Amino acid sequence: MSWLSHRRQNRFSLGAVEVAPEPEINLIPFIDVLLVVLIFLMISTTFTHYQELAITLPTANGSDSQTEIKQIHIAVSRDGRYAINGKMTDRLQLSEAINSITSKDANGNIQVEIDADARAPHQAVMSALEAARDANVTNIVFSSQTKK
């Protein structure tokens, strides 16, 4: 103990001055705290892995279809308005307009493309999907854009 060695034996002498002990940093509690923090960080980072599905898409060999597919383009605006092939319509006339277009094609090669605004109400998109289903159209696609 180094602080004892600095003490003078003559306490009662008038000329003796007591020297203050030098402060020491105890490293063992400091290392203990650092190890606890390190263990905490190691455990908590193992739970932050994002769940991902590793999907390998199938490939197919085939040629393009030779049959002509008639497309019906349904646009859904940000405020829930509809346009079929560029003509404005409302929800009540949406099914009737799709039925009138599909009745003209006897082959049944009809594809409905729903092009909805990113901020369009979900119900408006579902109404367009229901209208296509009511017209017995099974080939329905959604259009999207790539991030730039």
Condensed to tens digits (0 to 9), the pLDDT of residues 26-38 reads 889 999 999 999 9
Task: Give the pLDDT confidence score for residue 67 in this predicted structure.
Answer: 66
Q: How does pLDDT run across 120-131, given as a tens digit for each residue?
A: 888 988 999 999
Q: What is the DSSP letter of 21?
A: P
Q: In the chain, which ranges are E strands? A: 70-76, 82-84, 87-89, 110-116, 139-142
Non-local CB neighbours of 87 within 8 Å, separated by 6+ positions: 97
Ordered domains of the chain (ranges, CATH): 2-46 (no CATH), 70-142 (3.30.420.270)
Q: How does pLDDT run across 75-87, given as a tens digit for each residue?
A: 888 888 898 888 8
pTM above 0.85, yes or no: no
Task: Give the pLDDT confidence score for residue 37 in this predicted structure.
Answer: 95
| Percent of the chain clearing pLDDT 90 (strictly above) | 11
| For residue 134, pLDDT beyond 70 | yes
